[in-house]
Amino acid sequence: MNDTVGRYRAMTGHRLFWPAAVLVVMLAANTVYRPGFLSIELKDGHLYGTPIDILRLSAPLILVALGMTVVISTGGIDLSVGSMCAISGATACLYISQQPDQNSLPVVLTALAMALGVALVLGAWNGVLVAVIGIQPIIATLILMVAGRGLAQLITEGQIITINSEPYRAIGLGHVLTLPLAILIALAAALLVAAFTRRTALGMIIESVGGNAEASRLAGIRSGRVIFLAYVLSAVCAAVAGFMMTANVSSADGNAAGLWVELDAILAVVIGGTSLAGGRFFLSGTILGALIIQTLTTTVYAMNISPQTSLLFKAVVVIAVCLIQAPAFRARFTRRRSSAPPPSTVTDSPKEQVPA
């Protein structure tokens, strides 16, 4: 009995248990509402179905959230990732739209390289503001969040740039080995980040910088360089996510592309168990958090929830997930059985009566 209780407490105490439980509950609720929700079928060598759509649509958010996880673990935050998505997508689509052969693979690769170059410059700008000049991360990235959206509008000249490029469209809607290419790109990015942060000392260095940057510097770690590289990585992840977003619709809208994705990314990181104060980070939890957010969005559409109440519905579910994860909140509703034995009452032995 005690072993069972101990295993149960260890299982429920794991940082991924409650997010995974919420995801399972949402999938089960959707299955009850629509029995074919989890069905997957193979057509023309490609897998189709709602679970595949959830994975494909969550790929951009996973990419942005991976970069956000590394930034947050250094004790910072990046509010400019949404604008980076818009800038990268607008840059790539603008170059492709000006070419006579939009289906040329070298043209698409050149467009992607140009957009990645722009993202590297913008990520370096954020890194310099935070790591070199010493501006607070929320202020430094807020500057690019606002200015970057205006830059995207300048690139598109306030219009929606439409393209007809099959190689570029494949980034968001193409298939490889029966799976959408977007899923494979997100998986490759997650494995790459995990390899550098969990199979090398880099992850420990990042966590030490986030825990105490000054102590890390005194220990010989170049904290400024680590923080700088974190913002560059975040910009690259946001750029690739921007490619997916614009490829899904074969167009670039400087105003709508990546709008508020930074908030969803931060939420995915928090749901995954990474503290906003910096320090330890959990990539697997971040991916699970992104899947929860996309599943929640799909649930809103599947259950025909009105647009007026969809945001409120998502907020209620997110608050419930965060509360369930909080140990202090769970402790209030968990009966605690005292393991201490009840105090024993000691009775005095009867005194001998002295005869009169």
Rounded (5°) CA angle 235-68-252: 45
Residue 145 Cα distances to 25, 108, 140, 227, 304, angstroms: 35, 26, 9, 19, 32
Amino acid at 215: A
pLDDT, residue 354, reads: 45
What global pTM score does this model have? Answer: 0.87
pLDDT, residue 105, reads: 94
Which residue is listed with tokens 């310099």?
128
Strand partners, 48: 41
Amino acid at 71: V
φ/ψ (deg, to 5) at 29:
-65, -40
Retrieve residue 210's tokens. Answer: 């986030």
CB-CB contact of 164 with 250 (8 Å): yes
pLDDT, residue 19, reads: 84
φ/ψ (deg, to 5) at 345:
-95, 125
- Report mean pLDDT in 10-residue bins for the chain, 356 residues: 67 76 90 89 89 94 96 94 96 94 94 96 96 94 94 93 94 91 96 93 90 84 92 96 95 91 92 86 93 89 76 77 72 57 49 46
pLDDT, residue 352, reads: 46
Rounded to whole angstroms, the Cα distance separating 60 from 137 reads: 23
pLDDT, residue 219, reads: 85
Q: Which domains does the chain have, with CATH numbers?
A: 46-325 (1.10.3470)
Looking at residue 32, the DSSP 8-state letter turns out to be H
pLDDT, residue 12, reads: 67
Rounded (5°) CA angle 72-77-82: 120
**Dihedral-angle region of residue 45 (phi above 0 means left; psi in -120 to 50 means alpha; beta otherwise):** left
Rounded to whole angstroms, the Cα distance separating 281 from 74 reads: 9
Q: If we measure between CA atoms, which residue out of 280, 276, 279, 240 comes closest to residue 62? A: 240
